């Protein structure tokens, strides 16, 4: 696993203002492999892109306005909100950047107005598509999910509902780009996402990247000045680093307010039809807490603390399990060891079999 991981590094204000570039892969045909999305035949697609204005960078703002947490959704976070506007102003002059804003029910008039002012026709708000071609994709997504992981109760309907939202938004986004004379080549396009540290930020960063045809995860901003992190379930004071692991999983390392290190793992590029993942971290002296990202769905995780290691559920924002692991030491040495263990985490598909009793003797 060590040869397959990439350390993204510690964040800084320059990092989140300039953005981190990510390499993306090509769009596949609908009849293609696991990452298939709708697309024109390759030759036609290349011809259309050549005649369009190029897009290299996508900035996705998920469900603004910024709020403190799922427990306090009505309370604004003005620091984060102002930083989002600052990023929009900074990025708007880049002719090869677009901003996509998917609002929550409350909407965010100020952020949308800033996006339209700075990006012009490169600002796309609440894209959605319900055409026949998209409905075919939704049906195919469901069929794949039921065939591969959903036919024995391993998941819940919230996952396909979330995936359907992302698929409609991704297809709508692509059509809006084309209508306005823009096109993107996934091989040369990066995506950054901004949102609150809740399920929606994670699930749509993951699914949108898949359904836009990317082959590298989006850069998910978790800096405290860019994302509301009040309930984590424990309040963090600082994002230390993000590590890119096997199977497109991202490991986020934070410092808790009391100085202890803590980490979470999130899927960055997993379609709904593939099973969720676990991360095995070889380290002792840690605690693990598993939660559901949705208060209406009971947590159902595979995490457990064993001798010398911990198995953590990799979250995706809609499967009812994500794990926070917390180290007990606060010294520079214990934090360094914690970070190193997270960077070596082994990622595998979750494969938790239920015990079936076929007969009981008496």
Among the residue ranges 67-71, 117-121, 215-219, 231-235, the one predicted with the least confidence is 67-71
Rounded to whole angstroms, the Cα distance separating 274 from 137 reads 16
Mean pLDDT of the region 7-34? 37
**Which is more confidently placed, 349 or 15?**
349
Q: What is the pLDDT of residue 71?
A: 52
Q: What is the pLDDT of residue 27?
A: 29
Q: What is the pLDDT of residue 358?
A: 60
Mean pLDDT of the region 45-67? 81
Q: What is the pLDDT of residue 30?
A: 31
Mean pLDDT of the region 182-198? 92
Mean pLDDT of the region 90-105? 96
Q: What is the pLDDT of residue 198?
A: 84
Q: Is the peptide bond preceding residue 65 cis, with omega within 30 degrees of 0?
A: yes
- Closest by Cα among 192, 164, 154 to 274: 154
Mean pLDDT of the region 205-213? 97
Q: What is the pLDDT of residue 21?
A: 34
Phi, psi angle pair for 352, to nearest 5°: -100, 105
Mean pLDDT of the region 94-116? 95
Give this prediction's pTM: 0.84
Query: CB under 8 Å to 156, separation ≥6 — which residues?
Result: 297, 319, 320
Mean pLDDT of the region 76-99? 94
Mean pLDDT of the region 347-362? 68
Q: Which two tokens stand for residue 282?
A: 């070889």
Mean pLDDT of the region 77-103? 95
Rounded to whole angstroms, the Cα distance separating 346 from 173 reads 35
The architecture in CATH of the region 236-349 reads Sandwich (2.60)
Among the residue ranges 40-49, 162-171, 176-185, 249-258, the one predicted with the least confidence is 40-49
Contact assessment for residue 218 and residue 228, using Cβ atoms and an 8 Å cutoff: no
Domain ranges of the chain: 2-220, 236-349
Rounded to whole angstroms, the Cα distance separating 182 from 258 reads 48
**Which is more confidently placed, 229 or 208?**
208
At 31, is the pLDDT very low, low, confident or very high (cuts 50, 70, 90)? Answer: very low
At 272, is the pLDDT very low, low, confident or very high (cuts 50, 70, 90)? Answer: very high
Q: What is the pLDDT of residue 2?
A: 39
3-state per-residue secondary structure call for the chain: CHHHCEEEECCCHHHHHHCCCCCCCCCCCCCCCCCCCCCCCHHHHHHHHHCCEEECEEEEEECCCCECCCCCCCCECHHHHHHHHHHHHHHCCCCCEEEEEECCCCCCHHHHHHHHHHHHHHEEECCCCCCHHHHHHHHHHHHHHHHHCCCCCCCCHHHHHHHHHHHHHHHHHHHHHHHCCEEECHHHCEEEEECCCCHHHHHHHHHHHHHCCCCCCCEECCCCCCCCCCCCCCCEEEEEEEEECHHHEEEEEEEECCCCEEEEEEECCCCCCCCCEEEEECCCCEEEEEECCCCCCCCCCCCEEECCEEEEECECCCCCCEEEEEECCCCHHHHHHHHHHHHCCEEEECCCCCCCCCCCCC
Q: What is the pLDDT of residue 33?
A: 36
pLDDT exceeds 90 at position 289: yes
Mean pLDDT of the region 9-34? 36
Share of the chain above pLDDT 70, in %: 79
Mean pLDDT of the region 19-43? 37
Q: What is the pLDDT of residue 32?
A: 34
Query: What torsion, rounded to 10 degrees, do the Cα atoms 277, 7, 199, 118 define?
Result: -140
């Amino acid at each position: 696993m060590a040869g397959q991981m990439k350390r993204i590094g510690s964040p800084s204000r320059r990092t989140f203002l300039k953005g981190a570039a990510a390499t993306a892969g090509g769009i596949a045909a609908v009849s293609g492999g696991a990452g298939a999305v709708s697309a024109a035949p390759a030759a036609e697609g290349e011809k259309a892109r050549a005649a369009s204005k190029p897009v290299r960078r996508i900035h996705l703002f998920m469900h603004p306005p910024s709020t403190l947490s799922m427990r306090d959704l009505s309370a604004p976070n003005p620091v984060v909100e102002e930083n989002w506007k600052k990023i929009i102003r900074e990025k708007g002059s880049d002719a090869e950047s677009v901003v996509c804003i998917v609002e929550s029910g409350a909407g965010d008039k100020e952020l949308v107005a800033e996006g339209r002012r700075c990006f012009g026709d490169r600002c796309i708000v609440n894209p959605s598509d319900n055409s026949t071609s998209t409905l075919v994709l939704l049906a195919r997504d469901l069929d794949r999910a039921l065939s591969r992981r959903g036919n024995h109760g391993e998941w819940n309907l919230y996952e396909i509902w979330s995936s359907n939202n992302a698929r409609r938004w991704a297809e709508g986004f692509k059509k809006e780009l084309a209508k306005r004379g823009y096109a993107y080549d996934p091989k040369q396009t990066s995506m950054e996402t901004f949102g609150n540290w809740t399920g929606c930020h994670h699930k749509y960063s993951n699914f949108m990247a898949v359904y836009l045809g990317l082959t590298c995860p989006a850069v998910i901003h978790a800096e405290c000045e860019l994302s509301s992190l009040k309930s984590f379930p424990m309040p963090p004071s600082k994002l230390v680093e993000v590590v890119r692991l096997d199977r497109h999983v991202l490991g986020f390392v934070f410092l808790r307010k009391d100085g202890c290190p803590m980490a979470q793992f999130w899927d960055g590029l997993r379609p709904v039809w593939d099973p969720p993942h676990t991360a095995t971290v070889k380290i002792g002296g840690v605690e693990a807490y598993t939660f559901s990202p949705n208060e209406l769905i009971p947590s159902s995780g595979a995490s457990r603390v064993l001798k010398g290691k911990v198995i953590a559920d990799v979250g995706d924002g809609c499967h009812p399990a994500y794990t926070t692991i917390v180290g007990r030491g606060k010294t520079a040495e214990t934090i360094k060891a914690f970070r190193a263990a997270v960077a070596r985490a082994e990622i595998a598909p979750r494969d938790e079999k239920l015990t079936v009793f076929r007969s009981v003797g008496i």
